[in-house]
Structure 1
């Protein structure tokens, strides 16, 4: 087990002295604000956006045709593959990592094939219990805009049909990548931010033959902790108007199966190589003075509390397969996740293929 710590100057040291007080305040705030992957006034890297080197890869599934974006490894190998998961507001046209960062290109330069599933807003990349609905009324209005509880009765992904993302990623997509592109079915990597970080650990825990590496940035790794289900309920309402009860009934086997704190023994037994990260919630110089930054601070504080809890849980299990990264500055925002991915790439590269 390794913990990455960066050298701190006087300002950082003072900030760390007040960490406990700020964290407690942040957790309280986070339970009151939606748990969404906000872009907190940051500027994405210059090369971010639609990448003409990537191509659309459509695969049929129980949800209908699903698009992924594929970026081939620079050296043309088909053995080294990573799945890159989005956050709660995952749009239907591109994966957020392609929109907001240059990380896919960095992965390709490291001779890793990049698989970017598109869509799955608020899905946690899980197989849901039922289509999202409220009071027995399915969504059938205009498609979700992705903003606000007003979308609760709108149509859109996961409302006229049941989300089946775990099945898609571990069967439909996996097999299509192997059959049509020759990609390795085994010893793949998977990582993601926020919702996608939690999902990456879930996929690795239950599909160790497919995933030898998993990374979670700002993930919610103790979702059965007091208040977490209701925080997730608010977040899913805000991110497309989804009902957490349609995903998994409260506190039942399906919900507990999604909780990294609960399934941590699987990750230890599988000896899955893990990269677990959460920042302090203190803004960087690039995070503007606005409400996105305030929300991002609170959300990251909640993610940090979850991550520290998960670290303790793994320690009690004797885990030696984890690197923890705790940057002294960073909020729930793309600049934080971009930097974390760049730190992680060498470890990912050494543990796949």
Structure 2
């Protein structure tokens, strides 16, 4: 179905436990109900969609998976155009975006450990030492991943 995959700051752990708790929290903060994704939290839909649990079933297509640590990075300043000198926006990006990114870093580390143990060399992991869950980093990731995506699409 897909020629390549890109995941920017995603939590690949969805089974009951800490990964599922991260997903529930983020979706709730956004005003959603995470049970609308794969059914009840204790149901079979959550582990069935967990890439860490099902790593051996992942397709062997090119993948680019990236996350940062949640520690403030170059786009986490008042001077960044996306922040526009707004102290409230910066505080939200640092606190909420930093927390979410720390969670995605944990999830991505678990996925990398699992896929590396399986010898899956089709995945390029990009673990950034700093950065929050925010658009500046994803724009960089899109540029960084584009050669892989373009090649998989034949463009």
Q: Shorter-chain TM-score: what band?
A: 0.7 to 0.9
In structure 2, do the counterparts of structure 1 residues 286 and 271 end up closer, same or farther at CA, with 3 Å as the change threshold?
Answer: closer
Q: TM-score, normalised by structure 2?
A: 0.81
Q: Are positions 1:271 and 2:60 aligned together?
A: yes
Give the 3-state SS of the residue equivalent to 2:65 in structure 1: strand
In structure 2, do the counterparts of structure 1 residues 286 and 237 end up closer, same or farther at CA, with 3 Å as the change threshold?
Answer: closer
Which residue among 245, 255, 272 is the counterpart of 2:35?
Answer: 245
Q: How many residues align?
A: 141
Separation (CA, whole Å) in 2 of partners of 1:254 and 1:344: 30
Structure 1: stretches of 5+ with no match in the other structure: 1-209
| Superposed CA offset, 1:333-352 (max 9, x none) | 00010001101111111222
Separation (CA, whole Å) in 1 of partners of 2:35 and 2:128: 34
Flag as ranges the 4+ runs of structure 1 deviating above 6 A. Answer: none
Structure 2: stretches of 5+ with no match in the other structure: 78-89
Of Structure 1 and Structure 2, which has the larger fraction of its residues in strand? 1
Of Structure 1 and Structure 2, which has the larger fraction of its residues in helix? 2
Separation (CA, whole Å) in 2 of partners of 1:246 and 1:300: 23
Separation (CA, whole Å) in 1 of partners of 2:16 and 2:113: 14
Larger radius of gyration: 1
Q: TM-score, normalised by structure 1?
A: 0.38
Offset at 1:225? 5.8
Separation (CA, whole Å) in 2 of partners of 1:233 and 1:258: 15
Separation (CA, whole Å) in 1 of partners of 2:126 and 2:91: 26
* TM alignment of 1:342-353, pairs within 5 A: 342-353=143-154
